[in-house]
Amino acid sequence: MGVAGNALAEHELYYRYVVLGYVKDGSGLGRPGVQVELVRDKTGFSYIGETDVTGLYVIVVRLGDESAGERLTLRAASEAVSIVARFDPKDHAHDRGTRVDFLGGRSVETPAAFATTLREFLAH
């Protein structure tokens, strides 16, 4: 029973950190099929995703409460950006994550848009 309990815990909200966003070209069009990689700088472990037809990517990372403040490197095509996993480790009720868009050669992190973008993604 201990194994099943541990396996279920891995899927709990407080073990997930979601990074999502869009990869777009210089004219604002989504770039489908672009590989996106998120690396935990502390461990070197990477998570791979790919953009859909609209240029949206969603990567779910296993980060527990103890990982608040951890540095992550996000790469899309030839672009890379360093981000910090910011969340309240005491909050086990809300999704944890951020939104990072790659827009024609520059990256823009917009944490305030995370929850809305995640809801829209899950609604489809």
Q: Rg for the chain (alpha carbons), in Å?
A: 15
pLDDT tens readout for residues 66-78: 999 999 999 998 9
H helix and E strand count, the chain? 2, 8
Residue 115 backbone phi and psi in degrees, to 5: -60, -45
CATH code of domain 2-123: 2.60.40.10
Residue-wise burial string across 47-64, b where 16 or more C-beta atoms lie within 10 A, e elsewhere: bebebbeebbbbbbbebe
**Which band of pLDDT confidence, cut at 50, 70 and 90, is reported for residue 13?**
low
Average pLDDT, the chain: 91
Q: Mean pLDDT throughout 54-75?
A: 96
Q: What three-state secondary structure class fits 35?
A: strand
Q: For residue 7, is pLDDT > 70?
A: no
Where do the structural domains in the chain lie, given as residue ranges? 2-123
